Amino acid sequence: MKFKDKVVLITGASRGIGRSTALLFASQGAKVAVNYVSNKNAADEVVNRIIAKKGHAIAVQADVSNPDDIQRMFVETLQAFGTIDVLINNAGAHVPKSFWEINWQDWEKVLHTNVIGSFMCAREAGRIMLDRKSGVIVNVASVRGLFHCGRVGNLDYSAAKSAVISMTTTMAKELAPHVRVNAIAPGPTETDLTASWDKETLSCAINDGLMKRLMKPEEIAQGILFLSSPEASGITGHVLVVDGGYSLK
């Protein structure tokens, strides 16, 4: 077990990529803090699955766009497990609208959750990790944040994920040499969001990728696990794209 007794805090871990990541880390021996915003039942289901397999996990409610919630989340995680070895900034907000429909409140929601919340969580974790001279942070970005992959109808989200990528490289410099900071950029992935897409949007997402399918949450989780693992000990400031070739088209 690569992460035996390591403590991993995963934001937005009650569903989708975060859920798969929590279960994967737990299967590798990690103690997992499962963050959620409002769906306590979903978070408890993840925790109960981990505990049923003799693992260790807690559910921690917090809205990462709220600085008070972030502080409380870290306090509760430290009270339960004593430290934090790995932070996965997975929580995100997505408000698809046209260029002319996006309003100030949409920008605030998307930026506060995807960018500012990730920064505030990283700073809280960074203090703990630098004190211990060891730690890993993985930020979940998106192919939409890549220079050539911004999408019409997702301008604010694309801009936010681009900021996450830029922030990752700067964080890697700020927290070196003791803390590694990387990002993962998933392509279209089988989640609650893609399940709500119309047939045309879904068909385009599938056919625009070289592998002609959506990514699975478990595939993104494997990328996150790798970036957090000893096998990636020489990697920092890197963006790992897991998109089935979607961004190459």
Domain ranges of the chain: 7-248
Residues labelled as active-site residues: 157
234 CB-near residues (< 8 Å, 6+ apart):
none
Angle value at C-alpha 104, between 102 and 107, nearest 5 degrees: 70
Instruction: Return the pLDDT at 201.
Output: 80
**pLDDT at residue number 26:** 98
What homologous superfamily is domain 7-248 in, according to CATH? NAD(P)-binding Rossmann-like Domain (3.40.50.720)
Nearby residues of 108 by Cβ (< 8 Å), 6 or more positions away: none
Q: Report the C-alpha gap between 92 and 85 in whole angstroms.
A: 21
Q: Tell me the H-state helices in the chain.
A: 16-27, 40-52, 67-81, 104-111, 117-132, 155-175, 192-195, 199-207, 217-228
Q: Provide the pLDDT for residue 203.
A: 86
**pTM for the model:** 0.95
Mean pLDDT by 10 residues, the chain (249 residues): 94 97 98 97 98 98 97 98 98 86 93 97 98 98 86 85 97 98 95 76 85 95 98 98 91
In this prediction, residue 249 carries a pLDDT of 75
